[in-house]
Amino acid sequence: MIDERNYTRLRSIIRSRTGIDIVCYSRSFITRRLEFRMNACNIKDYDDYLRLLEHSDEVKVFTAHLSINVTEFFRDPDVFARFADLLKDYDNARIWSVGCASGEEPYTIAIIAKENGIRCSVLASDINRDAIERAKNGLYSFKSIRNVPKDTLARYFVMTDGGYLVRRDVKDMVTFEIRDVTGSMPTGSFDFIFCRNMLIYMDAQSKETIIGNICNALKRHGYLILGKSEYVNYPAVLSCIDNKTKIYRKSV
């Protein structure tokens, strides 16, 4: 585990060079990311690596690794099946995908809405600038689309030499932006907020902040969808309607 002196210096370097405050992440998560990059750079000493961060583009690589990019289209099909059922109660839904990484989740949401003839707008945000740029491009490898049914693939993707490109009508439903969810929030409120597999990397205080922000951004009776290994305990505000898929509903 990184000691306090090196952690304080690391936090200062990252904040001054990128504007990102790593304090929201758990210390163990930061240590794992730090040691992964040190090994990749063949550096064994914290001081040597911190000097590299301070004076090179390695800082961009390190901060890119703070974003959790393990994702694919229709990841956890049972979650999206349950979401599709809930979405059918809406004529027009506003949806936020928090920590969207390279865009597979928000595009999946948009495709489900189109499949069910429901109008929706999807805001997709992440702290990783490079991931957001990849998401805007909408070009994916076979690994990313392997769970997409063949008929859905044919309707909403164009096969190219570089991979599978999301069609323009799906792209137009999604707005991507760089956003730190522990800070300022988007304007307006949402019917659904997806925040999957991000909270497990946050410290306790940051989890409280994020969930508080999300609760404020949800409409009354709106839905919060977490990762399957995550949970929240806000009985006065959120009630779990499906423990298997970790879907919560705002009660006030």
Average pLDDT over residues 226-233: 88
Residue 202 has pLDDT above 90, yes or no: no
Whole-angstrom distance, CA of residue 248 vs CA of residue 245? 9
- What SS3 state is found at 99? coil
Residue 239 has pLDDT above 90, yes or no: yes
Q: Which two tokens stand for residue 190?
A: 């949402």
pLDDT value of residue 198: 85
Lowest-confidence pick of 31-35, 43-47, 121-125, 198-202: 198-202
The band of 68, judged by pLDDT with boundaries at 50, 70 and 90, is low
72-117 pLDDT, tens digit per residue, is 999 999 999 999 999 999 999 999 999 998 999 999 999 999 999 9
pLDDT value of residue 20: 78
- Range among 30-34, 108-112, 177-181 with highest mean pLDDT value: 108-112
pLDDT value of residue 177: 96
Comparison of pLDDT for 61 and 170, the residue scoring more: 170
Between the alpha carbon of residue 80 and those of residues 41, 138, 189, 216, 245, the distances in Å are: 39, 20, 21, 24, 9
pLDDT value of residue 27: 87
Based on the number of CB atoms within 10 Å of its own CB, is 121 exposed (0-12), middle (13-18) or buried (19 or more)? middle
Average pLDDT over residues 23-49: 89
Average pLDDT score over the chain: 91
Residue 67 has pLDDT above 70, yes or no: no
Residue 69 has pLDDT above 70, yes or no: no
**Count of residues making up the chain:** 252
CA atoms within 13 A on the CB side of 169: 10
Average pLDDT over residues 30-44: 91
Q: How would you label 73-102 residue by residue, b for 16+ Cβ within 10 Å and e otherwise?
A: bbbbeebbebbeebbeebeebbbbbbbbbb
- In single-letter form, the type of residue at position 47 comes to D
Strand-pair partners of 194: 97, 225
For β-strands 174-178 and 190-195, DSSP reports them as unpaired
| CA nearest to 132, candidates 100, 106, 157, 110 | 100
Structural domains in the chain, CATH included, are 4-64 (no CATH), 77-250 (3.40.50.150)
Q: What is the pTM of this model?
A: 0.82
Q: Which two tokens stand for residue 54?
A: 């301070």
